[in-house]
Structure 1
Amino acid sequence: MSAKVLSIGLKGLEGYRVDVEVQVKEGFESVVIVGLPDASVKESKERVTAALHTLGFPLVEKKVIINLSPAEQKKNGPLFDLAIALGILKSGGFIQERIPVETGFIGALSLDGTVHPVEGMIAAILAARKLNLKTLILPFDSSIPRIEIDGLELVYVESLRDVLNLLAGQQLLPLLSEADIEKGCQAPSRDFPIA
C-alpha cells in the first residue's frame, strides 16, 4: 500500500507543494529516496529510520521507496523528515489513522523523534497559505514571531509522538517558551482539526 503526505519545498524564498509518496513492502532492508533529493534530503533516511526505531517502529525486512514529487524540482534541506516518517508509518501499516489531505507537515527529525525547526519556516508557512492548505503541522520555534494567517491553522509539535497523538485525536499540552511565560502570552495552537 502506498501513502501520500503533503509537505512544502523551498526554492529560495518561494515555497511549493511537495507530495511525499511512500511505498513500504517486504524485502531486503533498504530506504531509497527519489525525486532530485540533495545530500541533506538523502540523509533523511538515516534520521527517520533511527527515530522510527526509537519509537518502536523498526523497519526490519522492509524495502522503503520514497518519491518526492514533482520529480523535476530539486529538493533540499531536512524539512521533509516529518512527512517521510508519517508516510512510512502509514504505508507500512504501523498506524491506521487517516492523514488529512489538506494538511502539510514540515520539520527535521532527531534520532529520538524530536521535531526540530528548519531554515525557511516562515517561507513555508506563507507557501502553505498560497497552496490553500487548511493546517500546517510544524515544530515550535521561539525565535520566529507568532504568525496568524486567516484560513491556515498552525499546529506546533515537539516530537513525532505528538503528531501520532494528534492523528489519533488526542489533545496536546500547550507549548510556551520561558519568554512567553514571562510576558503572559498564550500558547500557540496544538489543537488538530480531525474532521
Structure 2
Amino acid sequence: MIAKVKSCGLMGVDGFIVDVEVDISNGLPSFDIVGLPDVAVREAKERVRAAIKNCNLEFPVKRITINLAPAHIKKEGPCFDLPISIATLIASEQIKIDDIDRYMFIGELSLSGELRPISGVLPIAITAYKNGIEKIILPAQNAYEAAVVKGLQVYPAYNLYDIVTHLTGEKKLDTFYVDVDSFFLPNNKYDIDFSDVKGQENVKRALEVAAAGGHNCLMIGPPGSGKTMIAKRLPTILPDMSFEEALEVTKIHSIAGLVPQNMPLITTRPFRSPHHTISNVKVIK
C-alpha cells in the first residue's frame, strides 16, 4: 500500500513542501530512503523503527521504500522522522484517516517515541500556511513559534503515540494559541536607549538623519571613542517593527535555533557588532 503525508524542508530562510511517500510491498525486509537525503535523514530509519515499536505499535516487516519529493532538492536534518513514521503507519493500515492532506508533520523522534524540538519551525509554519495546509503537528517545545502564524491550527505533541490517538480519533490533541499582539506592547522595549549618550552631538545628529532617511552611516575613529556604543543604541530611535518585519527577523533566529522559549516573535530590531578581524580580505602589494 502507498501512503503520502506532507512535511517541509528548509532552503536558506524559506521552507518548501516535501511529500513523504511510503510504499510497503512483499519481499525481503528492507527500509530504503530515497529523494536526496543527507546522513541525518538516512539515519531516520533506525529512529523510526525503534520509536514505532516502543510506542506499542507494529513495525511492518516488509519491503519499505520512502521517497522524499521533490527528489532533486537535498533534504537535511532529523525533522522528517515524524512524517516518515506517520506515513509508514498509514501504509501499514494501522491508521485510517481521510483528511491527511490537511496536516503537516514535522519533528525529530527519540528511540522511545518522544518528540524532540527542531530548528526553523517558523519558516516551516509560514510555508504550510501559504500552501493551504490548515493543521500542523509538531513537538510541544516548538508550538510557540508555529502559533505565531495566524490562520494555522497548531497541535503540539510530546510523543508519537499521542499523535496516533489524535489521528484515529481516540484522544484529540489540544490546539495551541498565542496572543501575537502582546509581543508588541510598549513594555517590550530595549534595555538601552539613545538618550544614554552624553555629548557627541555631531555624531548623534548624523545618526538621527541616517535613521530618519534610511541611510547608511560610516563612523571612523580611534578605539574607545564610542563608535560601537552609539551604534548599539541606533535601533532604539528607529520605528517599531511591523508584524511582517518581525516575522522576517524571527525566521533567521529560528533557523539558527536562537528564538527564546518565552518570546517566539522577535519584536526588537537586532544589532550585531562583528569584530573587524573576521574579515579574510588580504592586501597584496
- Please state which band the TM-score falls in when normalised by the shorter chain: 0.7 to 0.9
Residue of structure 2 in register with 1:37 after alignment: 37
Whether the 8 Å CA contact 1:49–1:58 is kept in 2: the answer is no
1:14 corresponds to 2:14: yes
1:171 corresponds to 2:172: yes
* TM-score of the superposed pair, with normalisation by structure 1: 0.82
Q: What are the Cα deviations for residues 64-94 of structure 1, in whole angstroms up to 9, with x where unaligned?
A: 1000000111000111111000111111122
Cα 1:92–1:134 shift into 2, 3 Å: same
Q: Which moved more, 1:67-76 or 1:89-98?
A: 89-98
Q: Distance in 2 between matches of 1:26 and 1:163?
A: 27
Residue of structure 1 in register with 2:153 after alignment: 153
- Equivalences for 1:118-157 in 2 at 5 Å? 118-141=118-141, 144-145=144-145, 147-157=147-157
Q: Higher relative contact order at CA 8 Å, sep ≥6: structure 1 or structure 2?
A: 1
Whether the 8 Å CA contact 1:41–1:80 is kept in 2: the answer is yes
User: Which structure shows the higher helix fraction?
Assistant: 2
Q: Which moved more, 1:23-32 or 1:12-21?
A: 23-32
Q: Distance in 1 between matches of 2:160 and 2:84?
A: 11
Cα 1:34–1:146 shift into 2, 3 Å: closer
Aligned length: 175
Structure 2 unaligned residues grouped into runs of 5+:
177-285
State the identity as a percent.
Answer: 38
Q: Distance in 1 between matches of 2:97 and 2:28?
A: 27
**RMSD in angstroms over aligned alpha carbons?**
2.0
* TM-score of the superposed pair, with normalisation by structure 2: 0.57
Q: Distance in 2 between matches of 1:127 and 1:172?
A: 22
Structure label with greater radius of gyration: 2
1:146 to partner: Cα distance: 7.1
Cα 1:60–1:173 shift into 2, 3 Å: closer
Q: Distance in 2 between matches of 1:166 and 1:94?
A: 13
Whether the 8 Å CA contact 2:135–2:155 is kept in 1: the answer is yes
Q: Distance in 2 between matches of 1:86 and 1:129?
A: 21
SS for the counterpart of 2:56 is coil
Whether the 8 Å CA contact 1:24–1:64 is kept in 2: the answer is yes
Q: What are the Cα deviations for residues 156-186 of structure 1, in whole angstroms up to 9, with x where unaligned?
A: 11111111111122234788xxxxxxxxxxx
Q: Distance in 1 between matches of 2:58 and 2:128?
A: 31
Residue of structure 1 in register with 2:114 after alignment: 114
Residue of structure 2 in register with 1:25 after alignment: 25
Cα 1:93–1:122 shift into 2, 3 Å: same
Q: Distance in 2 between matches of 1:172 and 1:95?
A: 16
1:96 to partner: Cα distance: 2.5
Whether the 8 Å CA contact 1:98–1:167 is kept in 2: the answer is no
Whether the 8 Å CA contact 2:107–2:118 is kept in 1: the answer is yes
Amino acid at match of 2:57: F
Cα 1:68–1:4 shift into 2, 3 Å: same
Q: What are the Cα deviations for residues 89-113 of structure 1, in whole angstroms up to 9, with x where unaligned?
A: 1111222333521210000010011
User: Which structure shows the higher strand fraction?
Assistant: 1
1:119 to partner: Cα distance: 1.5
1:55 to partner: Cα distance: 1.9
Structure 1 unaligned residues grouped into runs of 5+:
176-195
Residue of structure 2 in register with 1:94 after alignment: 94
Q: Distance in 2 between matches of 1:132 and 1:78?
A: 24
